[in-house]
Amino acid sequence: MLFNSIEYFYFFVVAYLFYWALAKKQLVFQNAFLLVSSYVFYGWWDYRFLGLIFISTVIDFFLAKQIYTIQESQIKKLLLSLSLCVNLGLLAFFKYYNFFIDSWVELLTSVGYEFNSITTLEIILPVGISFYTFQTLSYTIDVYYGRLKPSKSFINFATFVSLFPQLVAGPIERARNLLPQLEQPRTFSKSLLLQGLYLMLWGLFKKIVIADSLAPLTDKVFEDPSLYNGGTLLLGLLYFTFQIYCDFSGYSDIAIGTAKCFGFQFKTNFNFPYFAQNISDFWRRWHMSLSNWFRDYIFIPLGGSKVSTIKFIRNILVVFLVSGLWHGANWTYVFWGLTHALIYFITQYIKLPIHSSGFKNIVTTCFTFIAVMIAWVFFRSPTISFAFEYLTDLVMRFSIPQYPLKGLYYIFILLFFDFCFRTNPQHIFKGFSSFQKQLSIIVFIAFIWVHFSSSPKNFIYFQF
């Protein structure tokens, strides 16, 4: 079920009413209702893959309990490995099997071997598998390291894994943040509800009005870049830069807003990323739940930054490579990750300052924005060579863009509101007078109504 569909609207209203009607009953009823609702939400897309979530949930629930109770470190390690194998195994099979086979065959063919019998499989990628796999993994790892006590209630844990606002495209919530909230009764709060609804409205505006309007322009330019001059390619790239931001941050806002309506507080996932002053600042603002995951479960265990220079470079490369691969089973994503690593090393080398003020601030922000924008070419292109050709054409055939201006209007609207007025990523009308708030709501509703489509477009991050 898509957040930008009419089905979700009905689902939300019904779930909301039942949920708060159950608030006076025992907590278990409320959580059980959330669990069933979440499975309905996911099953709406494809009920066959509910089994995968269930397997992942059952295995991690019981393994975490065992890890916590057993004292022998060897067995603990074995159980953790089992959890990692099952979760990553499922992810590897459904997401990367064909990619690995193709790459392997390509590699061996290039050195002279011939294959006749190896075939790829027609595997459907289960929506959200990368998200809930990382979520359950973090739980088991946290229990293993003693940072968290395992959940006593299977229903609570299953609800944590499958909670519908964040199930298919994040934010990747940590058990440390979400499980305690599930174990306490939620109390209705009008201000939280309003905050949630405002955030959902803003998320829908970003997705339906901006991202979905920029998408056809981007698609057209990336369909055949050879038709356009460099200026137009630059515009196409600029449009994609804002399309992906509005698409994904829009999803996160709706997810966080929905969670607020149900009495939960999710962590912020986007914090004005295109205002970042260097690449590490960008990753502290973009898809924060994923960057924090990589920081806590890969970068720091590898030694973090308190190691020799060589090891530090290795750690950075590993994190960005894994980040790229997490996004998709294609070398373009890997290259996108590497590009970010490269930008990181360059900014470290030239010691790009952060939190500087005035003109310097503008320069560093622009530099980071352009670097991030260039990296998006690899993310959006079907192949690496396509991306290089795109960038070469952009530079070599640069002239004033022939067209199209339409997307610039949408970007202007976003910048006008997001960067001129909004100050808090989760509390969007903070500091607004009641008139400004009403006016903004009215404008959002009008734009969403006009741009709403009865056949909603998927979110880009669903494919990850």
Partner 1 sequence: MKSIIRYGFLVFAFFLSIEGAFKLKYYHDKEFYPSNLETPSEKYRAMWDDVSIKANTKSEDKQRLFLIGDSFLDAEEYGGKESYIPYFTQLTLKNDWELYNLSLAGTSINDHKKVMDQIEGQPNNIYVFSIKIHDVLKLTEVIGVNPVSSSMPSSKSFQSEVITLLSKSDLVYLLKDILHHFFMWWNHTPAPHTHLYKTLVHPSSDKLENLSTFLCDLNNKSGTLIVLVNYPYNFKYDVNELNNFKLYRHLSSISCSDLLLFQSPLIINEKESVDWRNVHPNSISMKKVFNFIQQEIEKNQ
Nearest to 189 by CA among 123, 259, 131, 138: 259
Q: Quick check: 75 binds partner 1 (CB under 8 A)?
A: no
Q: Quick check: 55 binds partner 1 (CB under 8 A)?
A: no
Distance (Å) of CA 214 to CA 146, 211, 247, 448, 461: 46, 5, 10, 15, 16
Nearer to partner 1, 235 or 343 (CB): 235
Nearer to partner 1, 167 or 214 (CB): 214
By CB under 8 A, the count of residues binding partner 1 is 25
Q: Quick check: 226 binds partner 1 (CB under 8 A)?
A: no
242, two tokens: 């804002």
Rounded distance between C-alpha atoms, residue 240 and residue 407, angstroms: 10
CB of 5 to partner 1, least distance (A): 13
Nearer to partner 1, 192 or 214 (CB): 214
Q: Quick check: 403 binds partner 1 (CB under 8 A)?
A: yes
Q: Quick check: 406 binds partner 1 (CB under 8 A)?
A: yes
Q: Which of 209, 214, 256, 276 binds partner 1 (CB under 8 A)?
A: 209
Choose the binding region for partner 1 from 96-104, 272-280, 372-380, 453-461 (rule: CB under 8 A).
Answer: 453-461
Q: Quick check: 450 binds partner 1 (CB under 8 A)?
A: yes
DSSP codes of every residue in 197-255? HHHHHHHHIIIIIIIHHHHHHHHHHHH-GGGS-HHHHHHHHHHHHHHHHHHHHHHHHHH
DSSP structure class, residue 146: T
Q: Which of 451, 456, 457, 462 binds partner 1 (CB under 8 A)?
A: 451
252, two tokens: 């996160």
Q: Quick check: 10 binds partner 1 (CB under 8 A)?
A: no
Q: Is the distance from CB of 127 to CB of 462 less than 8 angstroms?
A: yes
Q: How far apart are the first and last CA of the chain?
A: 16
Nearest to 285 by CA among 252, 326, 259, 322: 252
Q: Is the distance from CB of 375 to CB of 336 less than 8 angstroms?
A: yes
Q: Quick check: 415 binds partner 1 (CB under 8 A)?
A: no
Q: Quick check: 360 binds partner 1 (CB under 8 A)?
A: no
Q: Which of 10, 409, 416, 419 binds partner 1 (CB under 8 A)?
A: 409
Q: Which of residues 416-435 bind partner 1 (CB under 8 A)?
A: 435
Show Cβ contacts of residue 448 under 8 Å, excluding neighbours closer than 6 positions.
201, 204, 205, 208, 209
Show Cβ contacts of residue 323 under 8 Å, excluding neighbours closer than 6 positions.
290, 291, 294, 337, 340
Q: Quick check: 454 binds partner 1 (CB under 8 A)?
A: yes
Nearer to partner 1, 97 or 452 (CB): 452
Active site residue 287: no
Q: Quick check: 295 binds partner 1 (CB under 8 A)?
A: no
- DSSP, collapsed to helix, strand or coil, labels residue 117 as coil
Choose the binding region for partner 1 from 28-36, 158-166, 278-286, 449-457 (rule: CB under 8 A).
Answer: 449-457
Nearer to partner 1, 164 or 205 (CB): 205
Rounded distance between C-alpha atoms, residue 339 and residue 84, angstroms: 28
Active site amino acids = 327
Q: Name the residues that contact partner 1, by CB under 8 A.
A: 209, 213, 217, 220, 402-406, 409-410, 435, 438-439, 442-443, 445-447, 449-451, 453-455
